[in-house]
Structure 1
Amino acid sequence: MFKLTDFNYHNKTVFFRADLNSPMSKGRIISDARFKAVLPSLIYLLEHGAKLVIGTHQGRPYDDEFETTEEHAKILSELLNIDVEYVEDIFGKYARERINSLKAGEAIILENLRFASEEARTAPLNACERTFFVRKLAPLIDFFVNDAFATSHRSSPSLVGFARIKPMIPGFLMEKEIKALKRAYESDDSPKVYILGGAKIDDSLRVAENVLKSGKAHLILTGGLVGHIFTFAKGYDLGDANVDFLHSKGLLDFIDWAEKILNEFYPYIRTPVDFAIDYEGERLEIDLLSDEKALFDKHSILDIGSRTVEKYSQLLKKAKIIVANGPMGVFEREEFAHGTVGVFRAIGESDAFSIVGGGHSIASIYKYNIEGISHISTGGGAMLSFFGGKRLPVLEAFKISYERFKDKV
């Protein structure tokens, strides 16, 4: 792959694909973490005289967070200390005119890319090349810089479509993410401990299966809904309320897959020994083997318990590599953040090289000022795809572009 420092950007037009998709409340962005993550790349390009065209998506169609990029422009303007103009167009005449009028060191941000129907779906690289998005913008740009690691597991026009038309270059964030993930995955250090939490059951099961089969993990700790699935698959009764919830979300369909993984790797997959529920407005911890577990029939499990945190923490102290994705419970409620905060603090206090990813995980790390984690990944889904053994379309596109344009360096 190329490096960002390989080219001369002075007076060159650069399409910069970022992932500034951020949590929102009442139409306002409530976290600028992803903005700050791409600042080094943006600053480098602007300082080297690039004419910068920034593209990002925000939310999904019909979601509450499906918004314009007008506020993104304001945040970027404040962080970069320049005027980043919001262009209420993507590849139409107005957008193309604004791109053509850019001067060295200036930047604009296009409208939410997912407002274009072509961008809302994924397709192979050759199909992405034929989209109006790529055909309209390609003649106007000199370089394509992709720093959107969090969406590197997707194949859409703005992410891969320019790869065989213009040099496609990873930004500093993308390079850092790839380096960290490869270090964790390919390292011979042991033990390697994976922590799988949150609600992305299929991705998490794929990771568990891949890293155990390939010898890339020595132990897997589970929490969140992933922990529910493995606990249930082990034969433990989680109570009517929790089984009904899993059924309502279609998650019971994954039990057979979880059982298959357990049958092959049972000793290497640890599940919670106690859970916390909301009982009459208070956190109540219940041992999985106690008679109190009858309360699970009417009360939802919202976190792992203190004994589980203690057991997991002891295991993490011995680890050399730690990979974690997803929270241990409903950390948004302070009384049920104990499991997530406890486990993540144990990661930070360990001597291991550690990676933590996923939007909710990042939010909890910043909210509770957890320090000591080696690398905080901006991409939960992309990270899970990587450790699940999937080919990431954006990484493949980097290689294709390098082979086509390496003589330009």
Structure 2
Amino acid sequence: MSWKTLDDIDLTGKRVLVRVDINVPVENGLVTDATRIDRIAPTVTDILAKGGRPILLAHFGRPKGKVVLDMSLRVTVPALEAALGRKVRLIETLEGAENLTDEALASDVLLLENIRFHPGEEANDPAFAARLAQLGDIYCNDAFSAAHRAHASTEGLARHLPSCAGRLMQAELQALEAALGTPKRPVVAVVGGAKVSTKLDLLGNLVAKVDSLIIGGGMANTFLAAMGLDVGKSLCEHDMTATAREIMLKAGDAGCKIVLPADVVVARDFAAGAPHEVVGAHACPPDAMILDAGPQAVARIIATLDAAKTLIWNGPLGAFEIAPFDTATNAAASHAAQLSRAGKLISVAGGGDTVAALNKSGAAEDFTYISTAGGAFLEWMEGKDLPGVAALKA
């Protein structure tokens, strides 16, 4: 590894500035999903165990450099205390952090108010980063989900203090290195979702790195159309068919097999329990929509997974939100989970719809690693350098 972890730095008596992502959903003043908060607990616990003093830096919403009371991190404090089993004190201003009271110093964990209240944060202002650096002795980045942003608290701070990755960042980087850096082969990627246009960089990078690329969801319709097939009223980017053909040619040159559905599930209405039928991918009725991959397609996907050693998954294979159009996603995810549980497959997945689909299928807990990083996960898969990661290597 070209970056340090918490095990590589003496934290005894040190103030540790920890960039975390606790940008969690809130309703009526209560955190409704504390997953992101729960996942930072190992880092904070380890810092305390090693004699360090954690000072958490985080954003909440998009206040755009202004104080917006509805975006205060105060709402996260009860959930933080529950996850950490420690007293957490919110420091409302930067001046307050620079002049801590005895009461604040008695708290186990300090939380600085929404870092995006300061215009210098998103501007990655060097003077602001230097001012933040005065608050600590060590910088620990545990927010991989924000690592694709070159902000003061994600990139600038690493220029001023000895730096390391937190446990969540460490796990994320190790999982992604295992999936795309030096993977066990054959490597299979599942890429689904609605639009080819949103994943051009991803597809372009993957065809050069994986052995098989399984394409599902609305994206598959665009590829089927690019092959001259009629997709009826399906979601399809007809203006992207030339691009889809380019991707298929690039895959062929790289020796990457593209797996598209041989049969599909079609319906006239996108509604739960809507009348539906299975037809060949070449036989979509002109008044119907393709909403899922068919049983032959699922069988081929499962066979492809059986032959694989590493799986990268981003996006569902069909309209997974509504039964029965979640069948292909559930079947493939369950099989990947079974192979992972048996130690036959390293499986790494990420992206908003992906996490939701895998949770819905019940397969998520058996995947080797599920990333909650969203945009940062996608940019890593696209082969882009992430400023927050690059800064730790400096």
| TM-score, normalised relative to structure 1 | 0.81
Matched with 2:380 is 386
| Aligned AA (2:78) | K
Is the 1:312–1:343 contact (alpha carbons within 8 Å) kept by the matching residues of 2? yes
Matched with 2:355 is 362
| Aligned AA (1:18) | V
Q: Distance in 1 between matches of 2:45 and 2:336?
A: 32
The 3-state SS of whatever aligns with 1:257 is: helix
1:279/1:169 Cα in 2 relative to 1: closer, same or farther (>3 Å)? closer
Matched with 2:108 is 106
Q: Distance in 2 between matches of 1:376 and 1:347?
A: 13
Matched with 1:398 is 392
Is the 2:97–2:112 contact (alpha carbons within 8 Å) kept by the matching residues of 1? yes
Matched with 1:265 is 251
- Indicate the percent of aligned positions where both proteins have the same amino acid: 30
| TM-score, normalised relative to structure 2 | 0.84
Q: CA deviation at 1:274?
A: 0.8
Instruction: Note the alpha carbon deviations across 1:121-156, whole angstroms, 9 max, x for none.
Output: 6xxxxxx25253x23322121111001112222211
Is the 1:85–1:108 contact (alpha carbons within 8 Å) kept by the matching residues of 2? yes
The 3-state SS of whatever aligns with 1:175 is: helix
Matched with 2:322 is 333
Instruction: Note the alpha carbon deviations across 1:178-202, whole angstroms, 9 max, x for none.
Output: 1121122233632210011235745
Matched with 1:406 is none
Instruction: Note the alpha carbon deviations across 1:69-121, whole angstroms, 9 max, x for none.
Output: 223221110011122123444x3x23433489643762122333333334346
Alignment of 1:222-241 (within 5 A): 222-240=215-233
1:94/1:335 Cα in 2 relative to 1: closer, same or farther (>3 Å)? farther
Q: Distance in 2 between matches of 1:25 and 1:304?
A: 36
| Aligned AA (2:370) | I
Q: CA deviation at 1:321?
A: 0.9
Matched with 1:192 is 187
1:97/1:334 Cα in 2 relative to 1: closer, same or farther (>3 Å)? farther
Q: Distance in 2 between matches of 1:106 and 1:315?
A: 50
Q: Tell me which moved more, 6-15 or 312-321.
A: 6-15
The 3-state SS of whatever aligns with 1:86 is: strand
Q: Distance in 2 between matches of 1:78 and 1:326?
A: 32
Aligned-CA RMSD value: 2.9
Q: CA deviation at 1:334?
A: 4.7
Q: Tell me which moved more, 313-322 or 28-37.
A: 28-37
Alignment of 1:4-403 (within 5 A): 4-24=6-26, 28-60=30-62, 67-89=71-93, 91=94, 93-98=95-100, 102-103=104-105, 106-120=108-122, 128-132=124-128, 134-187=129-182, 189-199=184-194, 201-202=196-197, 204-213=199-208, 216-240=209-233, 242-243=235-236, 246=237, 254-265=240-251, 268-272=257-261, 273-277=263-267, 278=269, 281-283=272-274, 284-289=276-281, 293-296=285-288, 301-350=290-339, 351-370=344-363, 371-400=365-394
| Larger relative helix fraction | 1
Which ranges in structure 2 are unaligned for 5 or more consecutive residues? 65-69
Q: CA deviation at 1:242?
A: 2.4
Q: CA deviation at 1:336?
A: 3.5
The 3-state SS of whatever aligns with 1:163 is: helix
Is the 2:57–2:112 contact (alpha carbons within 8 Å) kept by the matching residues of 1? yes
1:391/1:279 Cα in 2 relative to 1: closer, same or farther (>3 Å)? closer
| Aligned AA (2:350) | G
Is the 1:196–1:221 contact (alpha carbons within 8 Å) kept by the matching residues of 2? yes
Q: Tell me which moved more, 42-51 or 316-325.
A: 42-51
Q: Distance in 1 between matches of 2:329 and 2:200?
A: 20
Instruction: Note the alpha carbon deviations across 1:204-228, whole angstroms, 9 max, x for none.
Output: 3323222323xx2111001234333
Between Structure 1 and Structure 2, how many residues are aligned? 376
Q: CA deviation at 1:237?
A: 2.9
Is the 2:139–2:157 contact (alpha carbons within 8 Å) kept by the matching residues of 1? yes
Is the 2:233–2:287 contact (alpha carbons within 8 Å) kept by the matching residues of 1? no
The 3-state SS of whatever aligns with 1:355 is: strand
Q: CA deviation at 1:161?
A: 0.8
The 3-state SS of whatever aligns with 1:140 is: coil
| Aligned AA (1:208) | L
Which ranges in structure 1 are unaligned for 5 or more consecutive residues? 122-127, 247-251, 401-409
Q: Distance in 2 between matches of 1:332 and 1:27?
A: 27
| Aligned AA (1:381) | G
Q: Distance in 2 between matches of 1:197 and 1:209?
A: 14
The 3-state SS of whatever aligns with 1:159 is: coil
Q: CA deviation at 1:38?
A: 1.7
Is the 1:27–1:67 contact (alpha carbons within 8 Å) kept by the matching residues of 2? no
